[in-house]
Amino acid sequence: MTLPQTERLHRRDSFLTTFDAIVLAHTEVAGRPALVLDRTAFYATAGGQPNDFGALDGPPGRLDVVDVVDQGGVIAHVFGGGHAPDVGATVTGTLDFVRRFDHMCQHSGQHLLSQALQRVARAETLSVHFGPDTSTIDVDSEALDAGRLTAAEDEVNRVIAEDLRVHLHEVDEAGVAAFGLRKPPKVQGKVRIVEFEGYDFSACGGTHVRSAGQIGQVKLLKVEKRRGGSRLTFVCGGRALRRFRLLNDQALTMGALFSVAPEDVPLAVQRLMDESRETRARLAVAQERLAVFEAESFIQAGERRGDDVIVRVAFADRDAEGLRGLARQLTARPHTVALLACGGERSFLCFSRAPDAGGDMAALLRAALGALGARGGGSATFAQGGGPAASADQLRAILAGL
């Protein structure tokens, strides 16, 4: 049976939250049950904008709408479980308007941001994506420095402050040229044009605010180079406010930790990083000096096998770099083989030998790692690897068995 196209009530009124409709058919979307109605205020995912959520009430009960899918103009309302009403029954649809209004703010903000980028930075919008937390615009320009981005952000928020009215137009293809669209329409036949009062004209079937002031604000979060162009991440309306609250709370917390004003946190972090680098450098020198003394002690206690001295040591608290440093000191001496390991939350093994000593370090490491279920590799003279947690006693037993 061929079904008529669903009447889309949201195309005339994005603020419509309840409506009555007649069930035309039962269907499925990817194995999930769905209803087709004669008309709907639910928005089906399209143009980068996500679908609405909500509910359908009618005999025999309430159905939660969890997805809305456009099947060639016939809108399928996917529900999450329950008994579907009979074909011909009347149901009342109710939208999750918090979700809808958020989507309207993001979509309307994107229209204005795309126009602002075109005017201020000569950057044409190629595609958009509206995510659950942030949205993105891909533009055809890589030349978006901080100055241009700030200018575009100021421009779009200036327009929002002017509270430009939104006008909806439905015209045939011949009438499109009169509007000076930002980009050509992708549809044929009747074209729905969303106008922000003389500022932006776009062919769009999505849901939008009634005036620019309802967007609240638009905030650019970051820009990334992407395939000869740029990707801009942004938030609008309530998302921008929530992002500010989060960052402000984090800045206050960091300021308290460093005992500085929030605006001075970056300098405090830079000082901490500089001090950390200096400390690591001093520690590396100290570890190297310690390794010199340790190497002599371990060689004295090492196992003699022909001309070679084999040092087998497992530590409980040595890091990987410290282990490699000790191996360097040991194998700087002739005829020395170092079989070293450290345990903890992650095990690490480092096997090395002097050029004139015998043994295949890679083969020995494979045998040791096999006992641990770990991974690594190397050459006949040096090999390293690690993986699962192991105690120093476990590692000593593995080294002793080599």
Residue 201 lies in a domain: yes
Query: Looking at beta carbons, which pairs linking 283-291 to residues 24 or more positions away fall under 8 Å?
Result: 284/321, 284/325, 287/321, 287/322, 287/325, 288/325, 288/329, 291/322, 291/325, 291/326, 291/328, 291/329
For residues 223 and 303, membership in a common domain is answered with no
304 plus 204 within the same structural domain: no
Handedness of CA 305, 308, 309, 313 (dihedral sign): negative
pLDDT at 321: 87
Cα 43 from Cα 33, distance rounded (Å): 18
In a domain, 276, yes or no: no
Task: Residue 13: give its domain's CATH number.
Answer: 2.40.30.130
Please report whether residue 284 resides in a domain: no
Full residue range of the structural domain in which residue 82 is found: 7-95
The answer as to whether 242 is a domain residue is: yes
- Taking the chain, what is the end-to-end CA distance rounded to the nearest angstrom? 75
**Neighbouring-strand partners of residue 64:** 55
Last residue of one domain, picked from the residues 246, 276, 310:
246
pLDDT for 65: 98
Q: What is the pTM for the complete model shown?
A: 0.75
The answer on 165 and 43 residing in a single domain is: no
Domain co-membership, 235 together with 110: yes
What local confidence, expressed as pLDDT, does residue 146 receive? 94
Enter the tokens of residue 189: 């036949």
391 part of a folded domain:
yes
Domain at 220, CATH number: 3.30.980.10
Same-domain check for residues 351 and 223:
no
The answer to whether residues 237 and 320 belong to one domain is no
HSE-CB for 252 with a 13 A CA cutoff: 6
Look at the chain and report how many structural domains it folds into.
3
Q: Per-block average pLDDT, block size 10, for the chain (402 residues)?
A: 92 97 97 97 94 96 97 96 94 98 98 97 95 96 93 98 97 88 84 96 96 98 93 98 96 95 94 93 84 86 93 91 91 95 93 96 93 90 92 93 90
Statement to judge: residues 151 and 47 lie in one domain: no
Pairing relationship of beta strands 61-71 and 74-79 according to DSSP bridges: antiparallel
Whether 153 maps to a domain, the answer reads yes
- Whether residues 54 and 108 fall in one domain: no
Same structural domain, 157 and 240: yes
- What pLDDT, on a 0 to 100 scale, did the predictor assign at position 338? 96
CATH label of the domain that carries residue 345: 3.10.310.40
pLDDT of residue 343: 92
Check residue 328 and give its pLDDT. Answer: 92
Q: Is residue 16 part of a domain?
A: yes
Which of 38, 68, 95 is the C-terminal boundary of a domain? 95
Is residue 44 a part of any domain in this protein? yes
Tell me, yes or no, whether 67 and 119 share the same domain.
Answer: no
Are residue 190 and residue 78 in the same domain, yes or no?
Answer: no
Mark whether 116 and 211 lie in a shared domain: yes
